[in-house]
């Protein structure tokens, strides 16, 4: 056995126990990270759904009032409103 291999292996029971404890803590931390990533993904899907709903409502307002009036009512520049509606329109499925 080389000197490097000796350095990587715990030399006594206390060291092995510390290593096991550290590995358990690491595994728990990884589980928490995985759970947090799932929560974030769920929140992202909820946010995307809300964004689509908002864009659909804004599109309805544009259809009823026109882009200039809708922008005035929403207190947004017309260009920003049109760009957002184009982006959402391009990403949403078209009825056949």
pLDDT digits (tens, 9 = 90+) for 39-49: 999 999 999 99
- Which two tokens mark 60? 């309805």
Distance CA 35, CA 76 (A): 38
pLDDT of residue 58: 92
Q: What is the C-alpha to C-alpha distance for residues 13 and 39, in angstroms, rounded to an integer? A: 39
Model pTM? Answer: 0.63
Count Cβ atoms within 10 A of the Cβ of residue 58 and give its class: 0-12 exposed, 13-18 middle, 19 or more buried. Answer: buried
Q: What is the mean pLDDT of residues 58-62?
A: 91
Question: Has residue 8 got a pLDDT over 70?
Answer: no
Q: Reduced to 3 states, what is the DSSP secondary structure of residue 12?
A: coil
Which domain covers residue 86, as residue numbers? 3-91
Size of the chain in residues: 96
Residue 96 lies in a domain: no
pLDDT (0 to 100) of residue 10:
65
The reported pLDDT for the residue numbered 75 is 95
Counted domains in the chain: 1
Query: Within a domain: residue 37?
Result: yes
Supply the mean pLDDT for the chain: 86
Q: Give the C-alpha separation, 80 to 29, whole Å.
A: 42
C-beta of residue 59 within 8 angstroms of C-beta of residue 88: yes
């Amino acid at each position: 056995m080389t000197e490097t291999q000796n350095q990587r292996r715990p030399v006594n029971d206390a060291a092995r126990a510390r290593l096991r404890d550290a590995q358990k803590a690491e595994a728990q931390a990884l589980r928490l990270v995985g759970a947090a990533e799932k929560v974030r993904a769920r929140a992202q899907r909820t946010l995307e759904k809300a964004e689509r709903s908002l864009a659909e409502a804004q599109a309805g307002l544009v259809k009823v009032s026109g882009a200039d009036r809708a922008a005035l009512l929403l207190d947004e520049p017309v260009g920003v409103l049109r760009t957002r509606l184009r982006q959402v329109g391009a990403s949403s499925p078209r009825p056949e």
